[in-house]
């Protein structure tokens, strides 16, 4: 599901839902959901009674990668194009074979398709503002609805955990979390000396060239939060917090580049999976102001791939990318 731009409230309307659905029990899909064991789950929309062990899971939005990785009983998903480069071959095969029941946007929810698979649980994984694009009452007429939406980008850790728990796959989630934390700790130890005392800035992918702006990401944002687990320190904070992703990123004009990043000892910037910058990042890199930044003149700029990871398994790729990007720093 592309353009799920937590970094920007304006982009949030293209986020899709995340839904988990299951049949009533291990028996036929015709068996009433009430026959299954239930539990009370605390979600963004309150305390909801849900199946203890969902049997037929439909996932869209942020729940797609989380529940594929957690090996949930998926029978339908939305399109999730932005996450495809982060999937393993096995997870991509799972993604490809499952029926798509929603598009890239919340407004592209196919309620008839959801009802057809007889879900016993629906988990909506979009930010609160985007929830207005979903006919929640209609979904509630199909199955219990659990809203588990993201806030700031770094909250993917809690988000994916809660989504996995709702789908009855908490144990699977714990394995991925442990593997990620072990690798992050190893890389933090590896780069500790090279990173000591350095203040980093980050240029994100969502500036708008037409408006002459760039994206400065601070700690806790998409481009920074996983690098932080390796020991990178990002300085500063947004001037005015706007809620959600706007608490950890801002969009100055290109003329403010020196003011924004002039104090950075080093700068990271987001690039696409193939290692090339998108238009918004290239706009910054081609600027004369960029070329005159102290960090740029010192040769301390580092391109990082896979900065939009939203699950522990996907973030393993980001850890590798950060490790690779920082390698020259350790050699200097």
User: Percent of the chain beyond pLDDT 90?
Assistant: 63
Query: Which residues neighbour 9 within 8 Å (Cβ) at sequence distance 6 or greater?
Result: 129, 242, 243, 244, 245, 246
Secondary structure (3-state) at 312? helix
Better-predicted residue by pLDDT, 96 or 12: 96
Helix (H) or strand (E) holding 74: strand 74-78
pLDDT at 9 over 70: no
Q: Is the pLDDT of residue 14 over 50?
A: no
Q: What is the pLDDT of residues 97-110, one digit of tens each?
A: 999 999 888 888 89
Residue range 117-139: average pLDDT? 83
Residue whose tokens read 């770094």: 154
Q: How far is CA 60 from the centre of its chain?
A: 13
pLDDT digits (tens, 9 = 90+) for 18-43: 333 333 333 334 444 445 799 999 99
Report the run of H or E that residue 122 belongs to, with start and end: strand 122-124
* Nearest one of 328, 304, 330 to 221, comparing CA atoms: 304
List the single range of 120-134, 179-193, 208-222, 258-272 with lowest mean pLDDT: 120-134
* pLDDT over 70, % of the chain: 89
Joined tokens for residue 324: 């690779």
**Which one is predicted more confidently, 169 or 132?**
169
pLDDT digits (tens, 9 = 90+) for 237-248: 999 888 888 899
Q: Which residues pair with 77 in a beta bridge?
A: 59, 100
Closest alpha carbon to 11 in 289, 168, 189, 207: 207
Q: Which residues in 165-200 are b (16+ Cβ under 10 Å) and which e?
A: ebbbbeebbeebbeebeebbeebbebbeebbeebeb
d(CA 5, CA 209): 17
Q: Say how far apart CA 306 and CA 76 lie, in whole Å.
A: 25
Among 139-148, 176-185, 192-201, the range scoring the smallest mean pLDDT is 139-148
- CA-derived radius of gyration, the chain: 21
What integer is the mean pLDDT of 201-225?
A: 97
Question: What's the pLDDT at 288?
Answer: 97
pLDDT of the residue at 332: 62
Per-residue buried b or exposed e for 86-120, using 16+ beta carbons within 10 Å of the residue's own CB: bbeeebeebbeebebbbebbbebbeeeebbebbbb
Other C-beta atoms closer than 10 Å to the C-beta of 147 total: 21
Here the tokens at position 97 are 């074979």
What are the structure tokens assigned to 71, written together? Answer: 């090996």
Q: How many CB atoms lie within 10 A of CB 317?
A: 18
Burial 28-63 (b: 16+ CB within 10 A, else e): eeebebeebebeebebbbeebebbebbbbbbbbbbb
Using the predicted structure, report yes or no on whether residue 122 has a pLDDT greater than 50: yes
Q: How far, rounded to the nearest angstrom, does the alpha carbon of residue 161 sit from its chain's CA centroid?
A: 13
Q: Return mean pLDDT, the chain.
A: 87
Q: What is the pLDDT of residues 43-79, one digit of tens each?
A: 988 899 999 999 988 888 888 899 899 999 898 888 9
pLDDT at position 314 over 50? yes
Q: Facing residues of 266 across strands?
A: 200
260-301 tens-digit pLDDT: 999 999 999 999 999 999 999 999 999 999 999 999 999 999
């Amino acid at each position: 599901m592309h353009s799920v731009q937590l970094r920007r409230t304006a982009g949030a309307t293209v986020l899709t839902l995340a839904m988990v659905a299951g049949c009533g029990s291990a028996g036929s899909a015709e068996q009433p959901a009430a026959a299954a064991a239930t539990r009370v789950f605390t979600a963004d929309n309150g305390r909801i009674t849900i199946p203890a062990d969902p049997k037929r899971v439909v996932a869209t939005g942020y729940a797609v990668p989380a529940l594929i990785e957690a090996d949930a009983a998926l029978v339908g998903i939305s399109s999730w194009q932005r996450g495809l480069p982060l999937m393993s071959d096995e997870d991509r095969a799972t993604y490809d074979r499952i029926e798509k029941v929603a598009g890239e946007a919340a407004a592209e929810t196919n309620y008839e398709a959801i009802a057809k698979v007889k879900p016993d649980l629906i988990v909506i994984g979009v930010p609160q503002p985007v929830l207005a694009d979903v006919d929640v009452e209609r979904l509630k007429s199909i199955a219990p609805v659990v809203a588990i939406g993201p806030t700031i980008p770094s909250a993917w850790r809690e988000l994916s955990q809660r989504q996995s728990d709702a789908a009855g796959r908490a144990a699977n989630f714990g394995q991925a979390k442990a593997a990620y934390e072990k690798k992050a700790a190893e890389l933090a130890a590896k780069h500790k000396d090279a990173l000591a005392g350095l203040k980093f800035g980050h240029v994100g992918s969502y500036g708008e060239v037409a408006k002459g702006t760039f994206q400065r990401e601070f700690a806790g944002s998409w481009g920074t939060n996983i690098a932080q687990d390796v020991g990178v320190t990002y300085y500063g904070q947004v001037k005015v917090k706007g809620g959600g992703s706007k608490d950890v990123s801002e969009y100055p004009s290109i003329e403010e580049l020196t003011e924004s990043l002039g104090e950075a000892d080093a700068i990271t910037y987001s690039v696409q999976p193939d290692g090339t910058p998108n238009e918004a990042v290239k706009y910054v890199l081609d600027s004369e102001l960029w070329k005159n930044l102290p960090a740029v003149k010192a040769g301390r700029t580092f391109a990082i791939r896979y900065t939009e990871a939203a699950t522990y398994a996907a973030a393993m790729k980001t850890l590798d990318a950060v490790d690779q990007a920082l390698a020259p720093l350790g050699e200097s």
